[in-house]
Structure 1
Amino acid sequence: MDHVGVLALFDRDMREGAQPEGSDARVERVGGVVRHVSSERGWNAVLWSDLDETGADAAIAEQIAYFSGLGREFEWKLYGHDLPADLGERLRGAGFTAEPEETLMIAEAAALDLDAEPPEGIRLRSVTDAAGVDLVADVHEKAFGTDSSRLRHQLLARLSGEPDTVVAVVALAGDEPVSAARMELVPGTRFAGLWGGGTVEGWRGRGIYRALVAHRARAAQERGYRYLQVDASSQSRPILERLGFHPLTTTTPYTYAP
């Protein structure tokens, strides 16, 4: 893989040229910033920026004022190659809180090992309705220890309004949901994003996560997407590397609550 070329393509298609996630969202380009604006239950974020040392602080202040005026908490999604080099320090100085750093990993779907099947006793169920969304949300809360109401709202909206832009799957042990994940598809691009892969404690280390990656990769290929993208935690990065994903840069969410 041409790491430099693929990263540049990712920046162009998925960040600078981002599309809104859902009918209640919009993408705005203001100066050197591209931001995603949604409802209180949606995702509000700065996706891309083209800043230098002289204009960065003013751009940060402008985004704080804008989202605070809407009463929205928002995220500045910072990548390791973004400029200026001290942008993360400037965000912290302006009141942002840094979440754990992740690794942007990308693979060509056709180059992956897609033979990974669920372990014995586990079956995969495609999520297409509210009952399936409830199972995904249940796994999310147990695996990550966080509230799943926003995820529930967003996934239901996608499945009802734009079903061709999302693939969701849950792993069941009998009738018990033990792992879940989704894939977001961006029409007109070559990238499919893998998100939310989580397994309930007690079921980890058995190959379920690997099977969910393979399931979504096959679905991406069937729909004509060339690349798969993941913001990988330190736990999932080794699994993804063994499957054939390449680390291209880091990504850190900086959050601001007005």
Structure 2
Amino acid sequence: MDHVAVLALFDRDMREGAQPDGPGARVERVGGVVRQVAAEHGWNGVVWSDLDDSSADKAIAEQIAYYTGLGREFEWKLYGHDLPFDLGQRLRAAGFTAEPEETLMIAEVADLTLDVEPPEGIRFLPVTDRAGVDLVADVHEKAFGTDSSRLRHQLLARLDDPDSVVAVVALAGDEPVSAARMELVPGTRFAGLWGGGTVESWRGRGIYRALVAHRARAAVERGYRYLQVDALATSRPILERLGFEPLTITQPHVYQP
């Protein structure tokens, strides 16, 4: 993989050319910033910026003022190659809180091994209704220890649009033990893998690996060329064995008005 070329394509398709990620959201391009504005339960934040030493602080202040005026918490999704090089330091100085770093990993779907099946005793359930969304949200809370109300709201809002999201729950009998989703942006070449989480007592059995392969097959069926993951340190070794390559670091910076 040509890392430089693919990263430039990712920036162009998924960041500079970002599309709203759900009903009621809108993408705005203001100066050197591309941002999404959504309702309270949606994702609000900056997805791309084209700044330099002379424009960065002004742009940061403008975004803080804008989202604060809306009463919205928002995220500035910072990537390792974003300019200026001290943009993260500038964000933190302006009052943003840095969350843990993740690795942007990308794979060309044609290069992946997709014949990975769930481990014995595990079956995958496609999420097509409110009951399925509840299962995903419950697994998310158990796996990550975080509130899932925003995820629940977003999935419910997109149930009627199978071209925008594919969600799946792994069941051991009737017990939900893992869940994941794939977000799709029609007209781009990238499908994003998100939310892959397994409850602690079921980790290390190959469920996450099988969920990646399951979603990759769905991406192939829909004609996507690349899969993208923002990987935590725990997921990166599994993804590397599957054929994903690290391209850069991404780190959310969150501002609470």
Taking structure 2 as the reference length, what is the TM-score of the superposition?
Answer: 0.99
Which residue number corresponds to residue 105 of structure 1? 105
Distance in 2 (CA, whole Å) between partners of 1:18 and 1:182 is 19
Distance in 2 (CA, whole Å) between partners of 1:230 and 1:59 is 28
Which residue number corresponds to residue 92 of structure 2? 92
Which residue number corresponds to residue 138 of structure 1? 138
Alignment of 1:202-241 (within 5 A): 202-241=201-240
Alignment of 1:37-76 (within 5 A): 37-76=37-76
Which residue number corresponds to residue 201 of structure 1? 200
Which secondary structure state, in structure 2, belongs to the residue aligned with residue 164 of structure 1? coil
**Aligned residue identity for 1:214:** A
Alignment of 1:150-161 (within 5 A): 150-160=150-160
**Aligned residue identity for 2:142:** K
Distance in 1 (CA, whole Å) between partners of 2:21 and 2:241 is 31
Distance in 1 (CA, whole Å) between partners of 2:23 and 2:235 is 31
Which residue number corresponds to residue 173 of structure 1? 172
Distance in 2 (CA, whole Å) between partners of 1:140 and 1:23 is 22
**1:23 shift after superposition:** 2.0
Which residue number corresponds to residue 24 of structure 2? 24
**Aligned residue identity for 2:46:** V
Which secondary structure state, in structure 1, belongs to the residue aligned with residue 84 of structure 2? coil
Distance in 2 (CA, whole Å) between partners of 1:155 and 1:208 is 22
**Aligned residue identity for 1:237:** R
Any idea what the Cα deviations from partners look like across 1:195-225, whole Å, max 9, x if unmatched?
0000000100000000000000000000000
**Aligned residue identity for 1:193:** G
**Aligned residue identity for 1:229:** Q
Count of residue pairs the alignment pairs up: 257
Which secondary structure state, in structure 2, belongs to the residue aligned with residue 58 of structure 1? helix
- 1:2 maps to 2:39: no
Which residue number corresponds to residue 129 of structure 1? 129
Compare 108-117 and 24-33 and name the one that shifted more. 108-117
**1:163 shift after superposition:** 2.1
Distance in 2 (CA, whole Å) between partners of 1:99 and 1:152 is 22
**1:159 shift after superposition:** 1.1
Which secondary structure state, in structure 1, belongs to the residue aligned with residue 240 of structure 2? helix
Distance in 1 (CA, whole Å) between partners of 2:239 and 2:162 is 26
Distance in 2 (CA, whole Å) between partners of 1:3 and 1:31 is 28
Which secondary structure state, in structure 1, belongs to the residue aligned with residue 159 of structure 2? helix
Any idea what the Cα deviations from partners look like across 1:7-26, whole Å, max 9, x if unmatched?
00000010000000112000
Which secondary structure state, in structure 2, belongs to the residue aligned with residue 159 of structure 1? coil
Which secondary structure state, in structure 2, belongs to the residue aligned with residue 179 of structure 1? strand
Which secondary structure state, in structure 1, belongs to the residue aligned with residue 21 of structure 2? coil
Unaligned runs of 5+ in 1: none
**Aligned residue identity for 1:111:** D
**1:164 shift after superposition:** 1.4
Compare 71-80 and 112-121 and name the one that shifted more. 112-121
Which residue number corresponds to residue 79 of structure 1? 79
User: What value does the CA root-mean-square deviation take over the aligned residues?
Assistant: 0.5
Unaligned runs of 5+ in 2: none
Taking structure 1 as the reference length, what is the TM-score of the superposition?
Answer: 0.99
